[in-house]
Structure 1
Amino acid sequence: MKTYKFSWDLLGVEDGRPNLGTQVDLELYRLMHFTLRDVLEDKFGRTVTDEVLFAAGKLAGTEFYTHYIEPVAGLDEFINKTQQVLKEKKIGILKIEEDLLEQGKVLLTIDEDLDCSGLPETDYETCIYDEGFISALFEQFTEKKWRAKEIDCWCTGARTCRFIVKETE
């Protein structure tokens, strides 16, 4: 039996912080995210860490879709509602650059991304969790398998996070 099987009850946002509310400083969110990543990489290596973060993002995206996005009637409503909620929740600003959903492909950007906007430049993309999150959003909407891959990142000098999202089956 899993000790921490995900449920919305674990978030405790309904009445757990009556004075402090639901907002937290971005710096502290990143402190949790990157220290967790550091420990995971030390124990399991980068490949396994990326797999774990992708899977966690996918679970989060699935739950996020169920809790905040559905029901939606079509593609326009899915995109509009997702853009609205991502901005309201201060996750990022979603823009669709190329919509070829019928052909199994979407190119999108997320400006002011929660995970990396403002970080120093590196020679690698950092938004593995986001890849899983975005993959799950498209999977939940279309009921097909999708895979998001970051192709540009703030950390590689792009100043936005760009993802290619492709149907895989």
Structure 2
Amino acid sequence: MTYILKPDEKIAKIFSDGTRIKIIELLSEKEMTNSQLAGLLNLSKPTISHHIRLLLDAGVVKVSRIEHEEHGIQMKFYAVNPNILSVAGRKQGVLMEQVKKEIQEMMTRENAEKNEAKIAFLRLLKSSMLNTGIELDKPLYDAGYDIGLNVISKQINGSRLEDVLEELAGIWKKLNLGTVELADANKIRVKDCYQCGHMPDVGKPLCPSDAGIIAGVLDKTTGKKHSVKEIKCWGTGYDFCEFEIEEL
């Protein structure tokens, strides 16, 4: 089982203990009481209470409900806090296998395409980060936003949303990053994406930095704040990426 953590040193330290890992594994399946956890892990209730207190303080688990027994004693049920921790499926291991296959095939061909090697090793880096279990979507989005705001936006002349997106599509094409199309008034679609094209379905979008770039470019050129979210991706079973744009 793989865990995706929001980058936080305090939370990361929680996962240095095997007992807490086991508690989280059990609570990710269903809510449980202190007594139930103690029984399943063959540990004393005070020991479980100690670990639960640390997990509560870090925000990794939460009290999901409280029931009262016949004698008025509170019985607390604990569950994983989805705002801090999400349990990832095993599909992400498939991503690494796909990348290794691509690199192997590329090396055995005499004439690889122009940017194929660079793209393959970019995907190797991405799959390695996913396999660490560290959730990097936010820092990657922020990095993309910074590039969009301070670098790519300087190449854009328009200020209307449609004009900016059209110019951005031209930049994407020039840099061989993919083919950008306007899917709707507030959605753009990217085919042949350099980051995730032909990647397997891993249950999550794989291009947060691109979403950040789009948001940064739009904020700078239009003078308005925007939220950009990737809603479709090769990583979620589609053969294209789609980004939803919302003016804030």
TM over 0.5, yes or no?
yes
Quote the Cα distance in structure 2 between the aligned partners of 1:34 and 1:64. 26
Contact 1:131–1:150 under 8 Å retained in 2: yes
Residue of structure 1 equivalent to 2:179: 93
Quote the Cα distance in structure 1 between the aligned partners of 2:242 and 2:118. 24
Quote the Cα distance in structure 2 between the aligned partners of 1:159 and 1:76. 24
Residue 230 of structure 2 is aligned with which of 143, 150, 154?
150
Residue of structure 1 equivalent to 2:77: none
1:81 is the counterpart of 2:161: no
Cα displacement (A) at 1:84: 1.3
Cα displacement (A) at 1:73: 5.9
Give the TM-score normalised by the residue count of structure 2: 0.48
Correspondence 1:85-164 to 2 at 5 A? 85-99=171-185, 106-164=186-244
Q: Tell me, which stretches of 5 or more residues in structure 2 are unaligned? A: 1-114
C-alpha distance after superposition, 1:37-67 (max 9, x if no partner): 348x55xx32xx2211110111122234234
Across the two proteins, how many residue pairs are aligned to each other? 134
Quote the Cα distance in structure 1 between the aligned partners of 2:125 and 2:187. 29
Fraction of identical pairs, as percent: 22
Quote the Cα distance in structure 1 between the aligned partners of 2:168 and 2:210. 14
Aligned to 2:231, what secondary structure does the other structure show?
strand
1:32 is the counterpart of 2:125: yes
Aligned to 2:217, what secondary structure does the other structure show?
helix
Judged with a 3 Å threshold, the aligned counterparts in structure 2 of structure 1 residues 159 and 135 are, in CA distance, closer, same or farther, namely: same
Q: Tell me, which stretches of 5 or more residues in structure 1 are unaligned? A: 1-22, 100-105
